[in-house]
Amino acid sequence: MKFIHSGKVKDVYELDEKNLLFHFTDRVSAYDVPMITNIKGKGEILCNFAEFWFTYLDSKNHMVRLDAKDKMVVKKLRMIPLECVVRGYLYGSLYERYIAGNNRLDLAPNMKIASILKDPIFDPTTKSKIHDQPISEDQILAEKILTNNELKHVKDLSIRLYKQMSNISNDAGFIMADVKFEFGKDPSSNEIILADSLGPDEFRMWNKDSYKVGEEQVSYDKQYLRDWLTKIGFRDKIKNASKDGKMPIPPELPSTVVNELLKRYSYVYKKISEL
């Protein structure tokens, strides 16, 4: 087994010419900054959640099998350098762009935060080790990341998968506000299939009972950590440091934040996987 690289939350190894091993670690990142505090048990939850969604969703994917409680064997793919975000609600970076007047997705005027969108929208970003940036469909075509047919396929598939995930989340008492998919091409067939991972690091999940338009939502995902970092001023430090092309040193996470984040990850996995 050959070590390939460490991502923000996963370590990747080459098993053989056709397969990789994903080790879902207990690392956590937010705003593209890796935290220095691990969330013990998080990797196991993310691995099991990924297995659940790959098994449930009506789409080919790269999962081969689980190898341990926090390890998954996957097919090698030629990864498409995009994060295929689908949004069903006006929240997060979409809301920030909206109120700043950057409305390239042509949303209705005067919408409040957390408003449901008329239809789910495809809002892709670049895939970067530093900071992902929104990218338009015209840019994707101009940069020849995908062909016209491939882009249509990826867009339609992303929206369809989001709707499937939303339906089962709804049955479990949650609202899936948005989700990020990644895809790769099977080297043997050139077929585009679902890849990477699917869990609270990739989606934004709210409790249906506490949902209110115009307010910040109670999230059962990584948003809880983002909100805490914003509250202590760390997000402002990220913005200021990024002007100089730097990354600030993240704070130690207090045990209350670690425990609450793990509690929320565990809760949403338990509720959804038991359906």
**Residue positions counted in the chain:** 275
164-179 pLDDT, tens digit per residue, is: 999 999 999 999 999 9
Rounded Cα distance between 74 and 64, Å, is 5
Location of structure tokens 């099977």: 186
Query: Where do the structural domains in the chain lie, given as residue ranges?
Result: 2-75, 78-273
- Under CATH, what is the fold of the domain 78-273? D-amino Acid Aminotransferase; Chain A, domain 1 (3.30.470)
Q: pLDDT tens digits for the chain (275 residues)? A: 899 999 889 999 999 999 999 999 999 999 989 999 999 999 999 999 999 999 999 999 999 999 999 999 999 999 999 999 999 999 999 999 999 998 788 899 999 999 999 999 999 999 876 668 899 999 999 999 999 999 999 999 999 999 999 999 999 999 999 999 999 999 999 999 999 999 999 999 999 999 999 999 999 999 999 999 999 999 999 988 887 778 899 999 999 999 999 999 999 999 999 98
53-101 pLDDT, tens digit per residue, is: 999 999 999 999 999 999 999 999 999 999 999 999 999 999 999 999 9
Q: Which CATH superfamily is domain 2-75 in?
A: Phosphorylase Kinase; domain 1 (3.30.200.20)
pTM: 0.94
Instruction: State phi, psi for 120 to the nearest 5 degrees.
Output: -55, 140
For helices 255-273 and 42-56, give the axis angle rounded to 10 degrees: 20
Angstrom distances, CA of residue 196 to CA of 47, 152, 216: 11, 20, 29
